[in-house]
Amino acid sequence: MKINTYNFLINNNIIHVKVDKPFLREIKRKIIQKYSSLREFNLQKLKICYGTLKLEFNKNKYFKFNRLVRIAKDLGISKEEVFSHIKVFLRRVQTRVEN
C-alpha cells in the first residue's frame, strides 16, 4: 500500500510546518513583486485576517501548511519544492477549556 503524503498533509487543516527563512523571504518577495504588498495579496487571494498572514511571514515559527502550499501554487512554486524547504511538521490541536 502506497500513501500519498502530499495529499494527506495538504488536506489536513491542523498541520503546521517550520520552513527555512530564506525560502519564506523568497515567497514574500515574489508576493510583493506580483501583488505589490502582502495586504493586497491577502485581499485578492487568501481573504484571512491580515495580521495572521503578517505574523506567519515575520514572527511565527510555524506556518499553516495548506496555506503555504496554496500561496506557493499561486506563485508558480511546486509542492515538491515547498516540501524540500520544510524542516519540521507539527500537528496543532485546539483545546477547549470547559468550566
Per-residue model confidence as pLDDT tens digits over 63-87 = 999 999 999 999 999 988 998 999 9
- Note whether residue 98 is domain-resident: no
The answer to whether 79 and 69 have CB atoms below 8 angstroms apart is yes
The answer to whether 17 and 63 have CB atoms below 8 angstroms apart is yes
What pLDDT score was predicted for residue 95?
61
- Note whether residue 2 is domain-resident: no
Instruction: State yes or no: pLDDT of 34 exceeds 90.
Output: yes
What pLDDT score was predicted for residue 98?
62
What pLDDT score was predicted for residue 89?
86
pLDDT digits (tens, 9 = 90+) for 1-23: 666 777 777 778 888 999 999 99
Asked whether the CA dihedral 87, 19, 90, 58 is positive or negative, the reply is positive
Domain that holds residue 35: 9-91
pTM for the model: 0.82
pLDDT digits (tens, 9 = 90+) for 35-60: 999 999 999 999 999 999 999 999 99
- Note whether residue 96 is domain-resident: no
Q: How many structural domains is the chain composed of?
A: 1
Q: Look up the CATH number of the domain holding residue 26.
A: 1.10.260
